[in-house]
Amino acid sequence: MSSKIALLIILFVGLVFAQSPLEKRSSTLINKLATSKSDSILVWIYFTDKPNVLKKDIFSIQSIISKKSIERRSKSLSSANIIDFTDYPISEHYLNTLSTYSIAVKNKSKWFNSVSAWVTKNQIDALNSLNFISKIDVVEAFMRKPDPVETASHYLNKINLGDTADYNYGSSFYQMTTIGSDKLHRLGLKGQGVTIAVMDAGFNNLTHEVFSGIKILATYDFVNHRTFVGDGNGGEGAGYHGTSVLSLIGGYKPGKMIGPAFEASYILAKTENTASETPVEEDNWIAAIEWADSIGVDITTTSLGYNVFDPPFTSYTWENMDGRTCKISVAANLAARKGITVFNSASNEGYNSTHNTLTAPADADSIITVGADSLGVRASFSSVGNTADGRTKPDVMAPGSFVYLAGSSGPSYYFAGNGTSYSTPLVAGLAAQLLSANPKLTNMQIRAALRNTASNSQSPNREIGWGLVDGQAAYNYITTGIDSQYLKSFHLMQNYPNPFNGGTYIYYNLIENSNVSLEIYSIDGRMIDRYDLGYKQIGENNFHLRMNNLASGIYLYRLVHANGKNTNLSEIKKMIYLK
């Protein structure tokens, strides 16, 4: 009798749990459902797996990513890691099942194995019961501040300078000579052979004279889902901002303005809707960078940063700028892991003495975050670091006050603008010139060259990072082997916090995938602990060190890295432990 009762209890419990599916809605989504007056909500729908990965032998690599993307990844990834789970397509069966619930997909993300879609509350309830869905979350919508305003008087003698012996830069002379791009032009480096994706608010004046010779490989409007990236034709949003950004990096009109990389090839993605009160949704940007990766982009530049949510929902704060919280920042890091050199503006939130004013994805660890220089000092509006987890941001600086650029009011209209929006494409263009000089450079080597030759490279800080870029010095760095040890190995950064009590983070930058170990020494050189950190990927990594069992005092930490040539390379720094 007792065994029958036990069996009945088991069956009853199983029935109860079968009728109560696991909650898959995020806390953010639950809150939004409770407060939203809208009939539908834009959500991320995450899937549990990718069944096709089990049959990956049916795929050839080039059916998933382009030959150019493979070549770019091969510079920093082993042949076994050129493609991974993130590259395989989302299950068609899962997508077809969503359609049976009348759910129309807005954007797909292979990297996150998810799709975005507008859904009703009833549809969310149905999704919550599907066993192949792991999570349902809100697609965040962000707002961007207008470009900052500065007075022009002290710039007038800079903006209208003339030409050089080789190129007539017109009113772009100051910005080009300040970053040293003109010197690389004289060496024949104009971005040739490099593919650059500009991800912005659209491009509404591609007939401008500055674009007469530009090479555009592909265009897509992720706001209105069409290939046309201009204004009108039933689409939403104005593309004046993207027009100006593109002119800075790839424009060419002698006597008026010239960009650093006017012979590069371009991919143009419209990701921001300027017509709405919430001008960008993060899924547009993520879809765009995945698309650019599949084509084979080398460099991406984005002059938009976001941290304010559509009311009444809670915005990101400075504490969330840790490179791991904002999904758009996670995507930027993943792009860098795949070998893309990712540039993003630091933003125009100005200075705060106690914490960062960054906006996502400027907090991502393996990208290059660019601030605005104003005649040799940080522009007052340029955002400052450090990230919430203690990493130095911005990375570098470039002119961002009264930058000369093309506008959208006519085929020969130019104006002067302010913002990290405009300093960022200048540095991205400079990077393209370096890549033209040495196509074998990885994204981490490009970042090393830019940072370690900038004006503040000896003492990087939260206001200007490594400082104002120097094109000639960066070129010398990659061609003459200056500080080549850095290019071949890694950079060990100062632990944070320091001094510390209990735990601290050790940050280090790898130029290639490698095995890493961390050694802890007393101040007299005696090794007291060793940690095998395992095989780590290129880019910035970190290790959370805890020292609760040691006495207060000064300690040394040494990072050892095998560079793939059976050579152990190391770097040592001091840290202070206070109980």
Instruction: Work out the average pLDDT over 14-22.
Output: 48
Instruction: Work out the average pLDDT over 137-154.
Output: 67
Question: What are the φ/ψ torsions at residue 216 (nearest 5 degrees)?
Answer: -110, 115
| Token couple for 330 | 């996670």
Q: What single string gives the DSSP state of each residue in 353-398?
A: SSS----BTTT-TTSEEEEEEETTEE-TTS-----TTS-----EEE
Instruction: Identify the pLDDT of residue 406.
Output: 96
**CA–CA separation, 522 and 520 (whole Å):** 7
User: Taking Cα atoms as reference points, which of 346, 310, 305, 348 lies closest to residue 328?
Assistant: 305
Instruction: Work out the average pLDDT over 474-485.
Output: 69
Report the percentage of the chain scoring pLDDT > 90. Answer: 49
For residue 145, pLDDT beyond 80: no
Give per-residue pLDDT as tens, 398-422: 999 999 999 999 999 999 999 999 9
Question: What are the φ/ψ torsions at residue 102 (nearest 5 degrees)?
Answer: 60, 35
User: Taking Cα atoms as reference points, which of 66, 560, 113, 71 lies closest to residue 334?
Assistant: 113
Give per-residue pLDDT as tens, 333-384: 999 999 999 999 998 989 999 998 888 899 998 999 999 999 999 999 999 9
Give per-residue pLDDT as tens, 311-335: 544 456 667 778 888 888 999 999 9
Report the percentage of the chain scoring pLDDT > 70. Answer: 84
Lowest mean pLDDT among 3-12, 254-263, 341-350, 425-434: 3-12
Instruction: Identify the pLDDT of residue 376.
Output: 92
Q: In terms of DSSP bridges, do strands 299-302 and 308-309 run parallel, antiparallel, or are they unpaired? A: unpaired
The per-residue pLDDT of the chain, averaged, comes to 84
Lowest mean pLDDT among 70-74, 171-175, 274-278, 331-335: 274-278
For residue 7, pLDDT beyond 50: no
Radius of gyration of the chain (CA): 25
**Banded pLDDT at 285 (limits 50, 70, 90):** very high
Give the domains, in start order, of the chain with CATH numbers.
Answer: 21-143 (no CATH), 169-484 (3.40.50.200), 490-577 (2.60.40.1220)
For residue 199, pLDDT beyond 70: yes
For residue 4, pLDDT beyond 90: no
| Position 375, amino acid | L
Instruction: Identify the pLDDT of residue 530.
Output: 87
Give per-residue pLDDT as tens, 429-476: 999 999 999 999 999 989 989 998 999 998 899 999 999 999 999 998
The answer to whether the pTM exceeds 0.85 is: no
Instruction: Work out the average pLDDT over 69-82.
Output: 88
Instruction: Identify the pLDDT of residue 160.
Output: 52
Question: What are the φ/ψ torsions at residue 289 (nearest 5 degrees)?
Answer: -75, -30
**Banded pLDDT at 58 (limits 50, 70, 90):** very low
